[in-house]
Chains A and B, each alone.
Chain A
Amino acid sequence: DTAVSQTPKYLVTQMGNDKSIKCEQNLGHDTMYWYKQDSKKFLKIMFSYNNKELIINETVPNRFSPKSPDKAHLNLHINSLELGDSAVYFCASSQTGQGRATQYFGPGTRLLVL
């Protein structure tokens, strides 16, 4: 069983389009995250949700809108895609509480904007 899964794995689209990436975790965790890995492999937090509540929003353009319908799901919708949005997007989850900070990552969604 996959602990953290993402769909789709690959996404190729045209500039200006709107697309969504989905993430699901079956670990029973209460916190989920989106990270972006750029072309130089640098990883940066974008958003985090705890029990469906947004707790981290790291100066990401308004074109990016996360949605968490329940604790096990965190989706990322991107409007008006730009060339610079091309990256690998990773979902992760963890259980909050001292000593339980380990984040587990999904396989990533490779987005290419043409």
Chain B
Amino acid sequence: AQSVTQLDSQVPVFEEAPVELRCNYSSSVSVYLFWYVQYPNQGLQLLLKYLSGSTLVESINGFEAEFNKSQTSFHLRKPSVHISDTAEYFCAVSEVQGAQKLVFGQGTRLTINP
């Protein structure tokens, strides 16, 4: 079985500051890793994913995440945040083999202050 821990339930930052949202996972088998974003009163949107290859993955809106197998982490970073980045961010894993259900972390509420 897999589990995901997002170490911070809330992260407040000022606009244009850098941010890191932490995610650690536990699994006895190989996994895929995902970050989803949920804007207020909306559904889940895929932000970025690691399936294989380069351990550093990027999104189109400036976020990046690095898969670290030895530390079982997949932290999300952005060098300069914008007010529009205010949202709930979810880290998730799924097994490479098998039914591939997503197991989610508890979510991190990112609040950007002007």
Contacts and interface: CB of A to CB of B under 8 A. Distances in A.
Interface in A60-104: 90, 92, 94, 96, 98-99, 101-104
Nearest to A41: B107
Contacts of B52: 99
A102 B34 contact: yes
Interface in B42-70: 42-46, 49, 51-52
Nearest to A105: B44
B43 A33 contact: no
B96 interface: yes
Nearest to B36: A105
A101 B32 contact: yes
A56 B99 contact: yes
Chain A interface residue bracket vs B: 20 to 34
Interface residues of B, number: 26
Contact of A42 (B45, B51, B101, B107): B107
Contact of B90 (A43, A98, A104): A43
A35 B106 CA distance: 14
The 5 closest A-B pairs by CB, nearest first: A105-B44, A107-B43, A43-B104, A45-B101, A108-B43
9 contacts: A43-B92, A43-B102, A90-B44, A92-B102, A94-B100, A102-B51, A103-B46, A103-B102, A105-B45
Interface of B: 32, 34, 36, 38, 42-46, 49, 51-52, 88, 90, 92, 94, 96-97, 99-104, 106-107
Interface of A: 31, 33, 35, 40-45, 48, 50, 55-56, 58, 90, 92, 94, 96, 98-99, 101-108
Given A50-B99, A101-B100, A102-B34, 11 more contacts: A31-B100, A45-B102, A45-B103, A55-B99, A58-B101, A90-B43, A99-B51, A99-B52, A102-B46, A105-B36, A107-B43
